Amino acid sequence: MQTVEDFLRRKFWGWGYQAGPLDDTLTDTFVDFLRTTTGMEASPPLALPDRESIPLPDPRFPLPSAWENWITSDKEIRLHHCFGKSYRDSWRCAHGQFDNPPDYVAFPNDEEQLSELMVFARNNRISLIPYGGGSSVVGGIEPPKRTSSGGVITVNMLHFNKVLEVDTQSRCARIQAGTYGPDLEQQLKPHGLTLRHFPQSFEFSTLGGWIATRAGGHFATQYTHIDDFVESVRVVTPRGVIQTRRLPGSGAGPSEERLFLGSEGTLGIITEAWVRLQSAPEYKASATVGFKAFEHGVEACRQLSQSGLHPTNARFIGRGEALFMGLGDGNLDILILGCESSTFPVTQKLKDCLSIATACGGINLSEPAASGIDNQRDDKADTWKQAFITVPYLRDELVRRGLIVETFETAITWDKFEHFNARILAAAEHAIERLCGKGFVTCRFTHLYPDGPAPYYTVMAQGNGTDDLQRWDEIKRAVSDVIINEGGTITHHHAVGKDHREHYLRQASPLFISMLENAKTSVDPEQILNPGVLLKSPESRTN
Ligand SMILES: Cc1cc2nc3c(=O)[nH]c(=O)nc-3n(C[C@H](O)[C@H](O)[C@H](O)COP(=O)(O)OP(=O)(O)OC[C@H]3O[C@@H](n4cnc5c(N)ncnc54)[C@H](O)[C@@H]3O)c2cc1C
């Protein structure tokens, strides 16, 4: 189970452990590949931030001395809690801009300590930032600006790390919110059960973070969002504890736990949840299909999503991204198909999925055996999986070498997709060309619903090491405006945080936002919880 020592083995300036899976050769190869394919030039890497030479401002207020064994102002720990893991975060780390740390970091051991912290924060107007794994990519755990807050304590939920109860009859478990993905699965394994919620950030994110952000796992159809698995939640708020009832379903008014799904630390600190589990899959099979025309792949995805076959994986990757992921030569859009089951062989199901894909113009690129035998994996699915793990490490290295690398994501109904996608790509390409000269944007689908896909875009562009954040902000604004104006959502699974707040407030109806602000005021009257995330801080609401 993750300890504070494990936590400190991670980089304070980027993704993952200090001893990650990347070596410089891999980065150099990728940089060479980028140069030859796109003309983008990397600079020599910036030196890694040196913890000793980074100045940190002193804490602005004293704490009760009895708390010293669970709250700290230790420099290294505060450095780890300055940023999440977006491009903006990675860039500021690479450039040593650690000027806005929390004053303290708390590691509460139980709900009593959490409640004490809330009383202290209410009495002293201190902001509290709930913190799971810190993998937010939307400014969700970044302290408010020092000028706009009296003081900040980041609340790291690391010690809430246990599976407390397993109800094998109903196939559910009561799990503490600070439990990291691998620890959660390890504790469920002896029961033969799994949550099967695998976001790309699985290794470094927690159940509480997933619930607070409505995270999406990597399975492409059916159970995708953590929402589907949450049976009930327990939340400590500044006004007391809310425990929702365990029910398989209920029609009794608006759902209580739904209000906390996606609340992003603004309504309370989730301490535990009952979640629905599944049996581990016994049967697996995967295959890869190539498309000469992007729109044929889109049509295959639409038909698959409405077929009732529910492939576990149906990852459609545009040819540009496929090329960079090592999947082919850039002439085909790639669809990776996978079927899994704990009870039934899936060979026939995969064949049926393949029939749909090939009838839409797809070319089956798998060895014949891969589409015919249970538990046979297609090697392209493995290439994809490996890239999925390595890419976040690579991103930090590319940022240190002066390149702009970031993703954005959304969802839209099938009827609008073609126009929507074209408008997004045009806006991104135009902004990249105007601001950076060289660069590109690629598209893939992360999730398929019967009524529409969740497209995910990756931008890589030439940086100059000086005003890259402003240039990225302009690119991001251009695409976000299109997303909102064309009827999409500002986020399908990355959450709102501070970065998407402006567009979220344009997406949601004003009356709903007013209801949400009132809900916040009733549980958090002094507005101590994560100010500026999701909703505007009270002082700026009239602007
Ligand atoms: C490389 C990478 C890959 C990613 N892949 C995915 C992906 O596949 N799918 C996906 O959905 N997201 C993904 N993300 C985004 C991120 O991992 C998710 O938003 C994740 O759910 C955050 O979990 P966390 O535990 O790290 O939370 P944090 O980053 O610590 O916090 C996120 C938000 O939740 C709040 N919060 C955290 N814990 C609690 C709690 N116990 N109670 C109340 N509020 C809380 C925080 O205040 C903050 O607002 C990815 C991020 C990175 C860097």
* Cα Rg of the chain, angstroms: 23
The predicted structure's pLDDT at residue 534 = 97
pLDDT on residue 19:
80
Q: Which of 329, 288, 291, 293 is nearest to 418 (CA)?
A: 293
Q: Ligand 1 pocket check: which of 85, 135, 152 to mutate, most ligand atoms within 8 Å of Cβ? A: 135
ipTM of the complex: 1.00
Whether the CB of 200 sits within 6 Å of ligand 1: yes
pLDDT band, residue 373 (cuts 50/70/90) = low
Which neighbouring-strand residues pair with 440? Answer: 460
Cβ of 444 less than 6 Å from ligand 1: no
- b or e along 263-295 (b: 16 or more beta carbons within 10 Å of the residue's beta carbon)? bbbbbbbbbbbbbbbbeebebbbbbbbbbeebe
Q: What is the pLDDT of residue 224?
A: 83
Ligand 1 mean position to 177 CA, how many Å?
12
Contact 163, 173 (CB under 8 A): yes
Q: Is the pLDDT of residue 387 over 80?
A: no
Strand-pair partners of 462: 403
Q: What is the mean pLDDT of residues 250-266?
A: 96
pLDDT band at 375 (very low <50, low <70, confident <90, very high): low
Evaluate: CB of 135 within 6 angstroms of ligand 1. yes
For the CA of 265, the closest atom of ligand 1 is 44
Domain boundaries, the chain: 70-83+100-280+508-543, 283-384, 402-502
Mutate to test the pocket of ligand 1, among 7, 138, 155, 201 (most ligand atoms within 8 A of CB): 201
Ligand 1 contact via 14 beta carbon (within 6 Å): no
Q: What pLDDT, in 10s, does the model give residues 441-450?
A: 999 999 999 9
Cβ of residue 201 lying under 6 Å from some atom of ligand 1: yes
CATH code of the region 70-83+100-280+508-543: 3.30.465.10
Helix axes 347-359, 294-305, angle to 10 degrees: 140
455 within ligand 1 shell (Cβ under 6 A):
no
Provide the percentage of residues in the chain whose pLDDT is more than 90.
Answer: 85
pLDDT of residue 543: 42
Contacts (Cβ under 8 Å, ≥6 apart) of 514: none
Q: Tokens for 46?
A: 């910036």
Architecture of domain 402-502: 2-Layer Sandwich (3.30)
Q: What is the DSSP annotation of 175-229?
A: EETT-BHHHHHHHHGGGTEE-----TTGGG-BHHHHHHHT-B-S--SSS-BGGGG
pLDDT of the residue at 261: 97
**Mean pLDDT computed over 448-477:** 96
Residues in contact with 405: Cβ distance below 8 Å, sequence separation at least 6, in sequence order = 87, 395, 398, 399, 458, 459, 460
Tell me the CA–centroid distance for residue 458 and ligand 1, in Å: 19
> Is residue 402 in contact with ligand 1, taking CB distance under 6 Å?
no
Provide the H-helix boundaries in 360-441. 379-400, 414-436
Q: Could you tell me if the CB of 212 is within 6 A of ligand 1?
A: yes
CA nearest ligand 1 atom 27, residue: 209
DSSP character at residue 243: E
Class of domain 283-384 (CATH, top level): alpha beta
Reference 443, options 411, 402, 490, 415; nearest CA is 411
Residue type, 440: F
